[in-house]
Chain A
Amino acid sequence: MQLFDIIFYVFALLTVCSAVIVVFSKNVIHAAFALLFTFFGVAALYVLLQADFLAVTQVLIYVGGILVLLLFGLMLTNNVVSVDIKTGSLRMVPALLLIAVVAGSLSGIFYSTWKETPATPVASSGTTSALGNLLMTTYALPFEVASIVLLIALIGAASVARRKRKA
């Protein structure tokens, strides 16, 4: 077993265990903080997959942005008196059955053989400049559309969340 394998197992275990806490914890604050570890574990998996730019983006946007936003949402929508905010669950048995089916069929890839092409070695400068080139050439149109989407999301979120003035 090489170092790569050991690191993979450590971070895969971290990711999956904290995701289990996210899904099954009764305390929503605990769930939110477990999600932090899930995001970090996923970022580490990105590093193992030679996606350095994506790993940094994951930490910046998910941990620094989305998770903070979710925590704000949790704090603003509960009558917070302590960190002890509980929540319930619905329809657990049918959901568990469906999830068992989904996970089982997805894990059918356990023994399937994928055709692996030898990975193209990543330049020592990382993938950032190559990604930037792609975004400015091949993917210029989706890039511009994404910027419009972000702008619309910004305006939409601001106008939806704003308290209505009493006219």
Chain B
Amino acid sequence: MGSLGPIWKEFSAWLPHVQLSHFLVVSAILFSLGLYAIMTRKNAILVLMGIELVLNAANINFLAFSRYGSLNLDGQVAAVFVIILAASEAAIALAIVLNMYHRFQTINVDEVNSLKE
């Protein structure tokens, strides 16, 4: 812990006062978790959940910069569009997944290997 001392001191001084970078760190963690779900999950719907996590992380960034940066309400409008696209993406993806299940009797992405009957 000797060499970590100064870093820890800086960290504990940074921690209590919530500001822009705190929100950015939360969104970075959410983004990484979502990316992990996209890469490792077998079930296609859990992959979709990972995508939703990534989109939420992006939205937190938009709103954090609109609150603390100079983005103002423009950032919130961008977040509205992100939510719109997330909704339509979820609907389309669910339809594709249902078709996939109809065709293969499974939605594990590692077992689905052809597009055409």
For A39, give its contact among B41, B56, B68, B91 (CB under 8 Å). B56
B94 touches A73 (CB 8 A): yes
Q: Does A83 contact B (CB under 8 A)?
A: no
Report the nearest B residue to A85, measured CB to CB. Answer: B43
**Please, which residue of chain B has its CB at the minimum distance from the CB of A79?**
B105
B interface, by DSSP: helix, strand, loop or mixed? Answer: helix
Instruction: Please indicate the chain A residues that have their CB under 8 angstroms from the CB of B18 in the complex.
Output: 4-5, 8-9
Q: Which of B26, B50, B110 contacts A15 (CB 8 A)?
A: B26
Contact of B60 among A31, A45, A50 (CB under 8 A): A45
Give which listed residue, B46, B53, B85, contacts A28 with CB less than 8 A. B46
| CB contact under 8 A between A66 and B40, given known A23-B33, A110-B14 | no
Q: Which residues of B contact A80 (CB under 8 A)?
A: none
Known contacts: A16-B29, A57-B80. The answer to whether A49 contacts B67 by CB under 8 A is yes
Contact with B40, one of A9, A35, A90 (Cβ below 8 angstroms): A90
Q: CB of A81 within 8 A of chain B?
A: no
Q: How near does chain A come to B10, taking the closest CB pair, in angstroms?
A: 7
Find out whether the CB atom of B77 lies under 8 angstroms from the CB atom of A91.
Answer: no
**Smallest distance from the beta carbon of B70 to chain A beta carbons, Å?**
5
Across-interface contacts of A167 in B (CB, < 8 A): none
Shortest CB–CB separation between residue B44 and chain A, in angstroms? 8
* Nearest chain A CB to B109 CB, angstrom units: 8
For the complex, give the distance between the alpha carbons of A20 and B41 in Å.
13
Chain B contacts for A99, CB-based, 8 A:
32-33, 35-36, 39
Which B residue sits closest to A105, measured CB to CB? B28
- Asked if B92 lies at the interface with its beta carbon under 8 angstroms from chain A, I say yes
Enumerate the 5 nearest inter-chain pairs by beta-carbon distance, A residue then B residue, closest first.
A153-B88, A106-B28, A161-B95, A103-B32, A160-B95
Chain B nearest CB from A4 CB (Å) reads 6
Q: Knowing that A12-B26, A69-B91, A116-B69 are A-B contacts, what are 7 other residue pairs whose CB atoms are under 8 Å apart, sorted by A's residue number?
A: A28-B43, A31-B49, A91-B39, A109-B28, A127-B73, A134-B74, A160-B92
Contact B21 A157 (CB under 8 A): no
* Known A57-B83, A95-B39, A106-B32: A127·B26 in contact at CB below 8 Å: no
Query: Do A19 and B66 form a contact, CB below 8 Å, given A110-B21, A142-B81, A153-B88?
Result: no
